[in-house]
A and B are shown apart, each in its own frame.
Chain A
């Protein structure tokens, strides 16, 4: 069976700066990949290209059979709505919408809204009693759980998480990690950008970048055990 994500000789330039330099790897459906590396190593650039937020300068990125480098703006927008669920370090919730409406916003741009389904998604991340709260009334951990519910609501093929616990305290980090683990156990494909060794150790494989190049792909010891 073909891998769900294929990255082949991927290159991304910002002017003179080479942010990604001939990066290649595959991801199978249901895998949890941790993308790791020091700051400026190209992790976020990689995840932006995988999410259709940025265009590659060279190479090929195929997700669920779609060569996303060849897609126009309109097709990329559709690709993001259909196949990708984003979780950002800064949560990126719309401040004037409630938790429920933030989840429904993703439904709205995907197809049609279903308030009941959105409520259930929030209940699954433990926010069944916070539906009508706006982000300012939620803790960081709660906001990130809203973002996770939003990422999952359209049953995406791939969940892309950029430092999802970067702005959380230990207690909330544990909650979010448990959620990610549950999603992985349920068969979701997850790519997480992280600095955290602990999160890296939870992944099936670690893709490590250095100066835009693929340094190594490793299987964490915890996963092996």
Chain B
């Protein structure tokens, strides 16, 4: 106990004795830790926020009957209840579609019946002229794709009558959408209306899902759905999943290599300070050895000094990094990055590691020969 208190007493004096050199090392460590902490916070938080952002870029999982099946490959609408019953929290939006070949006057057009509230959630980037169909149960309005609107001369407020076989429905155009996809050629309406027009009550062509998370998390949801929906194909939309994965992977890679580089630079800063410190401490080490101090016991003091410096640098760097992460989040990603506590131990551990590696010149003091030092060589 007395030895431990003496150890702490010497450690305290060591820290105070070389304030100038240690301050330089501390600045190097704190700067490195601040950037690491900021980037780790950005990595963890921006990844979460970016995956949420990605979910507004369209469906990334599609459930459909197997290709080449009977009944023009239609699925029972009860699949929607079965998906909901799985309570998968990563599913952000679920939009069923029933595609019906209809005619407007004498010209054919594809009518897509869907749930507008869900379509809005997963396609917020669609350009809209006019208004959206706000309710899933609205049977009177429709959205018309940009190309179809030009073809049929439709504008918001126009009336359109659609026919399929001997059934007809009359709709009012709420808005014109530009999607850059197949929807530009379609008319979108309420699912029940489309089912009624086609005489396919309780049937859907496919279900689009928007699933949040990293590529492995999305893959896990896809597997769960496939296991629980036998007889249906559950397919990730490869291009979107791959693009998201690539973006996240590149951000992660950039952050990893930046952190590695910053830590190396910090270590070089510490190394320079410690090399100068080691020269100053040669006489003290020679004396300690002459007094009967073993090399491990003396080195413990210096490594504890470097470790303390690393821990303090790590803590200060973490706090600075939180501020820096907020700034980066707002400026670069346009999101508010919140402090992640799990970054604190990682930052401290990395900084302590860097400080101990940078303290290498102090380890060389173990080779000091007391007789030479005390002779004044």
- Are B371 and A77 closer than 8 Å at their CB atoms? no
Q: CA of A95 to CA of B294 in the docked complex: distance in angstroms?
A: 20
Q: Please determine whether A94 and B6 come into contact, CB atoms closer than 8 angstroms.
A: no
- Per the bound structure, the CA–CA distance linking A44 and B294 in Å amounts to 23
Chain A residue at minimal CB-CB distance from B371: A53
Contact partner of A110 (CB less than 8 A), chosen from B13, B287, B292, is: B292
Across-interface contacts of B284 in A (CB, < 8 A):
94
Per a CB cutoff under 8 Å, which of A44, A53, A96 touches B290? A53
* B10 CB–A CB distance under 8 Å: yes
Instruction: Report B275 CB to chain A, min CB distance, Å.
Output: 20
Chain B residue nearest to A84 in the complex (CB): B292
Known: A88-B374, A94-B284. A109 touches B17 (CB 8 A): no
- The smallest beta-carbon distance between A215 and chain B, in angstroms, is 23
Instruction: Decide yes or no: A74 and B294 within 8 Å by CB, A88-B374, A101-B9, A108-B10 being known contacts.
Output: yes
CB-based contact A95/B371 at 8 Å = no
- A44 — which chain B residues lie within 8 A by C-beta? 375
Flag if A82 contacts B374 (CB, 8 Å). no
- A105 and B10 in contact (CB under 8 A), knowing A113-B2, A113-B3? yes
Cα A145 to Cα B169 in complex, Å, equals: 111
Q: Is the CB of A90 within 8 A of B10?
A: no
With contact pairs A77-B289, A95-B17 given, residues A114 and B2 touching in the complex (Cβ less than 8 Å): yes
Tell me the complex Cα distance, A57–B139, Å. 107
Q: Count of B residues near A, CB < 8 Å?
A: 28
Q: Name the contact of A81 in the complex, choosing from B6, B292, B370 (C-beta under 8 A).
A: B292
Option from B5, B291, B371, B375 in Cβ contact (under 8 Å) with A109 = B291
Report yes or no: A48 in contact with B371, Cβ–Cβ below 8 A. Answer: yes
* B:1-27 near A, CB below 8 Å: 2-3, 5-7, 9-10, 13-14, 16-17
Q: Is the interface of A mostly helix, strand, loop or mixed?
A: helix
Is B376 among interface residues, defined by CB-CB distance under 8 A?
yes
A168 contacts chain B at the CB level, 8 A cutoff? no
Residues of A close to B376: CB separation below 8 A: 90
**What residue of chain A has the Cβ atom nearest to residue B7's Cβ?**
A108
A20–B287 alpha-carbon span in the complex (Å): 24
**Nearest chain A residue, comparing its CB with the CB of B301:** A108
Which listed residue (B3, B14, B370) contacts A96, Cβ 8 A? B14
Given contacts A53-B371, A54-B371, A95-B17, A106 and B9 within 8 Å (CB-CB): no
Query: Is residue A112 within 8 Å, beta carbon to beta carbon, of the partner chain?
Result: yes
Least CB separation from A91: chain B residue: B287
Interface check A56, CB cutoff 8 A: no
A108–B3 touching, CB < 8 Å:
yes
Closest Cβ neighbor of A79 among chain B residues:
B292
Q: Is A177 an interface residue (CB 8 A)?
A: no
* Residue numbers in A under 8 Å from B291 (CB-CB): 80-81, 86, 105-106, 109, 150
With an 8 A cutoff between CB atoms, is A7 at the interface? no
Chain B min CB distance to A213 (Å):
21
The reply to whether A113 and B5 form a contact with Cβ atoms under 8 Å apart is yes
Residue-by-residue, is A84-127 near B (CB-CB < 8 Å gives 1, otherwise 0)? 00101010101111000100111111101110000000000000
B374 touches A80 (CB 8 A): no
| Cβ-based interface call for A51 (8 A) | yes
How far is A110 from B290 in the complex, measured between Cα atoms in Å?
11
**Counting CB contacts under 8 A, is A211 at the interface?**
no
The 8 Å CB contact of A53, one of B7, B16, B297, B374, is B374
Instruction: Decide: B10 and A77 in contact? CB cutoff 8 A.
Output: no
Q: Which residue of B lies closest to A94 (CB)?
A: B284
CB of B293 within 8 A of chain A?
yes
CB-based contact B2/A112 at 8 Å: yes
User: With A and B bound together, what is the CA distance between A96 and B291 in angstroms?
Assistant: 17
Query: Cβ of B288 < 8 Å from any Cβ of A?
Result: yes
Q: Whole-angstrom distance from the CB of A165 to the nearest CB of chain B?
A: 17
Does residue B141 face the partner (Cβ distance < 8 Å to A)?
Answer: no
Determine how close the nearest CB of chain A comes to the CB of B144; give it in whole angstroms.
Answer: 83
Kindly state the separation between the CA atoms of A110 and B2 in the bound complex, as whole angstroms: 13
Q: Tell me the chain B residues, 278-330 only, with Cβ under 8 Å from chain A.
A: 283-284, 287-294, 297
B371 touches A94 (CB 8 A): no
> In the complex, which of the residues A81, A82, A90, A105 has the most CB atoms of chain B within 10 Å of its own CB atom?
A105
Distance (whole angstroms) from the CB of A50 to the closest CB of chain B: 12
Provide the residues of chain B in CB contact with A112, threshold 8 Å: 2-3
Q: Give Cα A18–Cα B336 distance, bound, in whole angstroms.
A: 76
B14's closest neighbor in chain A, by CB?
Answer: A96
Q: Point out the residues of chain B lying under 8 angstroms from A22, CB to CB.
A: none
Asked if B375 and A51 make an inter-chain contact with CB atoms under 8 angstroms apart, the answer reads: no
Q: How far is the CB of A105 from chain B (nearest CB, A)?
A: 6
Do the beta carbons of B13 and A109 come within 8 Å of each other?
no
In the bound assembly, the distance between CA atoms of A92 and B370 in angstroms comes to: 11
Closest chain B CB from A159 CB (angstroms): 14
18 A–B pairs (Cβ distance < 8 Å), ordered by A? A48-B371, A51-B290, A53-B371, A80-B289, A81-B292, A86-B290, A90-B374, A94-B284, A94-B287, A94-B288, A96-B14, A96-B16, A104-B6, A105-B291, A108-B293, A109-B293, A112-B2, A113-B5
Extra contacts besides A77-B289, A105-B291 (5): CB < 8 Å: A53-B290, A96-B17, A108-B3, A112-B3, A114-B2
B-binding residues in A (CB < 8 A): 44, 48, 51, 53-54, 74, 77-78, 80-82, 86, 88, 90, 92, 94-97, 101, 104-110, 112-114, 150
